[in-house]
Amino acid sequence: MKAKIIVTPKKAVVDPQGKTVQTALEQMGHRGIKAVHVGKYLEIELDGDKESARKSLDEACHKFLSNPVIEDYKLEIE
């Protein structure tokens, strides 16, 4: 099994990395960019059943892999 986790800043949180990337892209001539959000992408390979893995990884995302105050995460298991 493979879990894919994407962690991004919440929309209401100022994202200085995203703003820097957006400014750089605009300076390079790319137009029409409304917003950039820089986050983290993790792939985790695991064994076991899907529901146990989802429960365990959801807890890990909430307690360790993301900061729930300022970040959202999306968890997919294949």
Domain spans, the chain: 2-77
pTM of the shown model: 0.84
- Specify the pLDDT at position 60: 96
Q: Model confidence at 70, in pLDDT bands (50, 70, 90)?
A: very high
- Specify the pLDDT at position 38: 96
E strands, the chain, in order? 2-9, 40-45, 71-77
40-45: strand order across its sheet:
40-45, 2-9, 71-77
Q: Which CATH class is domain 2-77?
A: alpha beta
How far CA 46 is from CA of 8, 32, 53, 57, 62, in Å, comes to 23, 40, 8, 10, 18
Phi and psi at residue 76, in whole multiples of 5°?
Answer: -125, 140
| pLDDT one-digit tens code per residue, 16-66 | 999 999 999 999 999 999 999 999 999 999 998 999 999 999 999 999 999
Tokens of 46: 């695991």
